[in-house]
Amino acid sequence: MNPLPPPIRSGLESLLALLFPEVCQLCGEERGEAASGYLCTPCRSRLPRIAPPMCDRCGLPYPGDITGPFDCLNCRDLDLAFTQARSLLAAKGTGLELVHRYKYHRAFWFEPLFESLFREKAAPGIDPAAWDLIVPVPLHPVKHREREFNQAEHLARLLGRATGIPVDATLLRRAEHTATQTTLTRRARSRNVHGAFTLARSLPADSTRLILVDDVLTTGATTSACARVLRDAGATQIIVWTLARGL
């Protein structure tokens, strides 16, 4: 399922505004408008945004005074196939609630908020001339039928609009219907997704600098498995952006 075209989305938002009060979808008390994902100003200000200091490789935030670049224990222990990963929010509190509502309850009204966060946090550091394609992590067809949309593809298109970089949702394919990663250990996560992804078609010769997009990054096992397939196909640079960072 692709995001709705702006004219259709605008019309639906206008109709919803007539039928339902524009109330914040987190606190239910303050006013929340469509353009802000139906979050009020206080709730937006409380979103757990990711900020330095953080692991230079996977973007895991750390408290305290860390003045130089460093790699966390997770990155030193795993052979990650991407160069760098960054996330918009921490997967805790309201950040985790947004992810769950979006992913499991199809809360598409949050997408304007996500796009604005991509424009604020990701776009300033992404030179469109330095990257060829944005590639979402694919869902297995069984999971796609259950959920009726691929949240990673939706997020990739939001990042694409924020940066002007084209999105290709047909490059990767999930060949194995693996167990959910949420209950697995770090080592088990890597084993679980080993061989789960394949290339759906050849990587274009002029599209070797790629940005992978997923909803949540925890150990990086899933995005690394995708990145490894793309590197084997000829990709030369791969970074990752996700909506949230597991802690």
Separation of alpha carbons 141 and 160, rounded Å: 23
Averaged pLDDT for residues 215-225: 93
pLDDT, tens digit, 9 for 90 and up, residues 70-97: 888 888 888 899 999 999 999 999 999 9
Sign (positive or negative) of CA dihedral 196, 200, 206, 207:
negative
Across 199-212, b (16+ Cβ under 10 Å) vs e yields eeeebeeebbbbbb
Predicted confidence at residue 19, as pLDDT, reads 56
Distances (CA, A) of 112 to 9, 118, 119, 205: 11, 10, 11, 33
pLDDT, tens digit, 9 for 90 and up, residues 177-207: 665 656 555 556 666 666 789 999 999 999 9
Is the domain of 38 the same as that of 53? Answer: no
Separation of alpha carbons 148 and 127, rounded Å: 32
Predicted confidence at residue 144, as pLDDT, reads 86
Q: How confident is the model at residue 66 (pLDDT cuts 50, 70, 90)?
A: confident
pLDDT, tens digit, 9 for 90 and up, residues 144-169: 888 889 999 999 999 999 999 999 99
Is the domain of 3 the same as that of 76? Answer: no
Predicted confidence at residue 70, as pLDDT, reads 82
Is the domain of 38 the same as that of 151? Answer: no
Is the domain of 63 the same as that of 90? Answer: yes
Is the domain of 239 the same as that of 142? Answer: yes
- C-beta separation of 181 from 221 below 8 A: yes
Structural domain range at position 160: 48-245
- Per cent of the chain over pLDDT 90 is 66
- C-beta separation of 124 from 201 below 8 A: no
Is the domain of 53 the same as that of 17? Answer: no
Is the domain of 105 the same as that of 221? Answer: yes
Residue 213 contacts by C-beta under 8 Å, 6 or more apart in sequence? 134, 135, 136, 137, 152, 155, 156, 159, 240, 241, 242
Is the domain of 111 the same as that of 70? Answer: yes
- C-beta separation of 138 from 150 below 8 A: yes
Q: Does the pLDDT of residue 26 top 60, yes or no?
A: yes
Is the domain of 34 the same as that of 97? Answer: no
Is the domain of 3 the same as that of 95? Answer: no
Q: What is the CATH number of the domain that holds 208?
A: 3.40.50
> Where does a domain end: 12, 31, 46?
46
Which range (39-48, 107-116, 181-190, 227-236) has the least confidence? 181-190
Predicted confidence at residue 24, as pLDDT, reads 93
Predicted confidence at residue 164, as pLDDT, reads 98
Is the domain of 41 the same as that of 54? Answer: no
On the CB side of 205, how many CA atoms lie within 13 Å of its CA?
Answer: 0
Predicted confidence at residue 169, as pLDDT, reads 96
Averaged pLDDT for residues 18-44: 87
CB-count exposure of residue 237 (10 Å: 0-12, 13-18, 19+): middle
| pTM for the whole structure | 0.86
Q: Does the pLDDT of residue 176 top 90, yes or no?
A: no
Beta strand segments in the chain, E: 84-90, 133-136, 172-174, 197-199, 209-217, 237-245
Average pLDDT along the chain: 88
Is the domain of 129 the same as that of 144? Answer: yes
Q: How confident is the model at residue 101 (pLDDT cuts 50, 70, 90)?
A: very high
Structural domains in the chain (count): 2
Predicted confidence at residue 79, as pLDDT, reads 86
Averaged pLDDT for residues 37-51: 94
Averaged pLDDT for residues 220-225: 92
